Amino acid sequence: MLSVVTSQWTKLISPIARTRDRVELFARVRASILLFAAPLVALGVVATFASGSPSGEPSWGRDESRSRRAGPSSVESCTQRLMPAFMPELVPAYSHNDYHRDHPLSDALEYGCVGVEVDYFLVDGELRVGHARDELVPGRTLESVYLAPLADRVLRLGSVYGDGTTFLLNIEAKASGAESYPALHAALEAYSFLFERVERGEFVKGPVRVVLVGDLPDLDLLSRQPTRYAGVHALWHDPLARSRRFADLVRMISVDYRRVLVWDGWGRPPEEFRRELAEIVQLRDAVPGRVLRCYDVPRSRRVYGALLDAGVDLIGTKTLRDSRDMLTDWTRTHPDWAESLRQAND
């Protein structure tokens, strides 16, 4: 009797047991799917919000005129991804001895400098950047460190920062010689589209202004070139700064601050400081298109402000972060300064 009851009971509960097993199995499978799928879904949501658009193209890199065209090419998509994520706040400064930085040129661009200064030696046919011969490295050249990266940015953005601001490239030959300038001219000519230049007496605007500083090549040689990619600087007290014969060659007036102006920022600016600075600015203005730069300037908000208020265009610095912070205080109260610099470069 017991065996019959047991047999009947087993037949009764077996379907129920099998159903329970199936339910448990389904629950386990579903849990496993959710366990693996949840991170993937989360990543997809994050990527969508980060991209700023359903296509995944960053919102800061979208070109509305191109978005209206069907199917941008893979080259265009790649170029868009290389566009800078933000426009740095520009400051009226250039990076002095820029090649000594951890990331030459890149650091200056990150901090919004509108120029750099570079020294070079001609060695074995290469324009190697450095301040002394023992710093030189084969392959570390004006072209590889500066010209090629600047060309890449200009091809992508239209100008170095994408806003039309002319970028200053000061170049100094640390060893003079008959071969030095022709080698530099050839290097610049290979990137001719980059530079403002003079072609058969006509000025042609470009994204980058090259100014030769330090010891200058033969000025008669420069003035006779059919196409010239570089101008020169003149120290403000040098007769070259007032020369009529070479007036079109001089694209920048330079002031060694500690030798000329001296004021350290304490107290009121001396009358002599203001008078001499006014004379320097007047000399700059005597020939349209020149820029005025001061170098070896003490790091002082008051000094920076006094120079810029008087009309100085650019301040040389070796301390990008500190100078950027102090100069930003001035630029934010003078929003038109960059436009003034663009006009000076016309």
**What secondary structure does DSSP assign to 176-212, as a single string?**
--TTHHHHHHHHHHTTGGGB-EEETTEEE--SEEEEE
Convert 39-75 into a string of H (helix), E (strand) and C (coil): HHHHHHHHHHHHHCCCCCCCHHHCCHHHHCCCCCCHH
DSSP β-ladder status, 227-228 and 197-199: antiparallel
216 with 123, same domain: the answer is yes
116 with 52, same domain: the answer is no
134 with 239, same domain: the answer is yes
In angstroms, the CA 105 to CA 119 distance is 13
The one-digit pLDDT tens for each residue of the chain (346 residues) are 444 434 443 444 444 344 334 434 434 434 444 344 444 434 443 343 333 433 333 322 223 332 222 333 333 333 333 345 457 899 999 999 999 999 999 999 999 999 999 999 999 999 999 999 999 999 999 999 999 999 999 999 999 999 999 999 999 999 877 789 999 999 999 999 999 999 988 999 999 999 999 989 999 999 999 999 999 999 999 999 999 999 999 999 999 999 999 899 998 999 999 999 999 999 999 999 999 999 999 999 999 999 999 999 999 999 999 999 999 989 988 888 877 666 655 5
71 with 128, same domain: the answer is no
Name the domain boundary from 82, 107, 138: 82
Name the domain boundary from 82, 116, 136: 82
Structural domain contains residue 285: yes
229-243 pLDDT, tens digit each: 999 999 999 999 999
Distance of CA 149 to the CA centre of its chain: 10
Domain range for residue 307? Answer: 93-344
77 with 98, same domain: the answer is no
52 with 193, same domain: the answer is no
Name the domain boundary from 51, 82, 113: 82
For residue 41, give both structure tokens.
């879904």
In angstroms, the CA 130 to CA 148 distance is 17
In angstroms, the CA 61 to CA 80 distance is 6
Kindly give the interhelix angle for 320-331 and 337-344, rounded to the nearest 10 degrees.
100
CATH at 267: 3.20.20.190
Structural domain contains residue 33: yes
Model pLDDT, residue 336: 81
Model pLDDT, residue 135: 93
Spatial contact of 171 and 184, defined as CB atoms under 8 Å apart: yes
40 with 105, same domain: the answer is no
302 with 165, same domain: the answer is yes
5-48 pLDDT, tens digit each: 344 434 444 443 443 344 344 344 344 443 444 444 344 433 43
For residue 49, give both structure tokens.
């919000």
One-letter identity of residue 56: G
103 with 58, same domain: the answer is no
286-302 pLDDT, tens digit each: 999 999 999 999 999 99
Structural domain contains residue 88: no
188 with 47, same domain: the answer is no
132 with 200, same domain: the answer is yes
Structural domain contains residue 87: no
In angstroms, the CA 108 to CA 95 distance is 6
pTM (2 d.p.)? 0.74
Number of domains observed in the structure of the chain: 2
Kindly give the interhelix angle for 301-310 and 320-331, rounded to the nearest 10 degrees.
50
Structural domain contains residue 293: yes
Structural domain contains residue 223: yes
207 with 241, same domain: the answer is yes
Structural domain contains residue 340: yes
102-111 pLDDT, tens digit each: 999 999 999 9
Q: What is the DSSP string of 61-124?
A: G--HHHHTSSS--HHHHHHHHHS-SS----BSEEETTGGGSSSTTHHHHHTTBSEEEEEEEEET
Structural domain contains residue 111: yes
